[in-house]
Amino acid sequence: MNVLVTGGAGFIGSNVVDKALEKGWSVKIIDNLSTGFVENLNPLCDFVNADICDYDSIEEHFEGIDVVFHLAALPRVQPSIDNPLPYNKVNVEGRLSVLDDCNNYGVKKIVFCSSFSYYCDSA
């Protein structure tokens, strides 16, 4: 199985990557390291340092992918209210870019992961 993990350098993404590798899957990571860390990258993966909002830089990496775990996003509710434009760009337009590439390259399954803060007020 060939999987791609967007946001694979983040805490949750890196754990998804490790579990996929344990299953013997081939894993590719797309992350721009804006909220993730190089230290979280598993050296057994193919790492692409790219932004999901840059359609041209990520498009080719969906070829041959069976499953996409989409975790790339800007987190936290309050900053998205205070400064909505960058959050819209990444969390809406970036997601659309990923979904379009999945469609264009025949990806069989997309697993979308959202933030806990979407579901409840953590205050």
pLDDT of residue 44: 97
Residue 87: band (very low, low, confident or very high) from pLDDT cuts 50, 70, 90: confident
Share of the chain above pLDDT 90, in %: 75
H or E element in which residue 2 lies: strand 2-6
Residue 118: the pLDDT is: 57
Q: Which fold has domain 2-118?
A: Rossmann fold (3.40.50)
pTM of the model: 0.91
What is residue 79's predicted lDDT score, i.e. its pLDDT?
Answer: 76
Whether the CB-CB separation of 77 and 91 falls below 8 Å is answered with: no
* Percent above pLDDT 70 for the chain: 93
**Residue 117 pLDDT > 80:** no
Confidence of residue 121 (pLDDT cuts 50, 70, 90): low
End-to-end CA distance of the chain: 40
- Residue 65 CB neighbour total at 10 angstroms: 20
Q: What is the pLDDT of residues 34-78, one digit of tens each?
A: 999 999 999 999 999 999 999 999 999 999 999 999 999 888 778
